[in-house]
Amino acid sequence: MFSIGELSKRTKVKVPTIRYYEEMGLLPEAERTAGNQRRYDTAGLERLSFIRHARDLGFSIEAISSLIELQDHPDRSCEAATDIAASQLADVRAKIKRLKTLEKELSRISKGCDGDGMSEDCYVLASLADHGLCDQEH
């Protein structure tokens, strides 16, 4: 059995986050000692590791809940899990596309000013004040 502190160390998930996952129903409610301290078994450790990995990959709490539901019912089709992962991949690709657009615009703006002039003539500040100076929508 693991204390919440030990669980936190092993999974690198902060104690308040563990409590939050428990409140949200992602992590089963822990057993309690006579002193009311939480105690987690190996299944709790594995579940928290699963949640941590899914969060690292950017899955939402709702998606993780759905994935856990599937994991808890091994007789079900994995089609829903594949759909959830595909949706997350599409979201990540959209974010990457947006970040590339931002990178391009920020690079252009920062090159528009050599930094030697006065702030009243600064192209960076002018670009931030007037969206019309941007090359593209972002």
13 C-beta neighbours (distance < 10 Å), count: 20
Q: Report, in this order, helix, strand and coil percent for the chain, each rounded to 5.
A: 65, 5, 30
Report yes or no: 80 and 42 within 8 Å, Cβ to Cβ: no
Query: Does 131 map to a domain?
Result: no
Q: What's the confidence (pLDDT) of residue 113?
A: 76
Strand partners, 39: 3, 31
Whether residue 130 is contained in a domain is answered as no
Whether residue 36 has pLDDT greater than 90? no
Confidence (pLDDT) at 116: 79
Residue position matching structure tokens 């309690």: 32
Answer yes or no: is 119 within a domain.
no
Q: What percent of the chain has pLDDT over 70?
A: 100
Task: Kindly give, in sequence order, each residue whose CB lies less than 8 Å from that of residue 97, ignoring residues fewer than 6 positions away.
Answer: none
Range of the domain at 62: 1-72
Is residue 7 in a domain? Answer: yes
Q: Is the pLDDT of residue 135 over 80?
A: no
Q: State yes or no: pLDDT of 136 exceeds 80.
A: no
Residue 80 located in a structural domain: no
Number of domains in the chain: 1
Rg (CA), the chain: 23
- Asked if residue 1 belongs to a domain, the reply is yes
Q: What is the per-residue pLDDT across 77-105, written as a single tens digit (0 to 9) for each?
A: 999 999 999 999 999 999 999 999 999 98
In a domain, 103, yes or no: no
Domain harbouring 18, CATH code: 1.10.1660.10
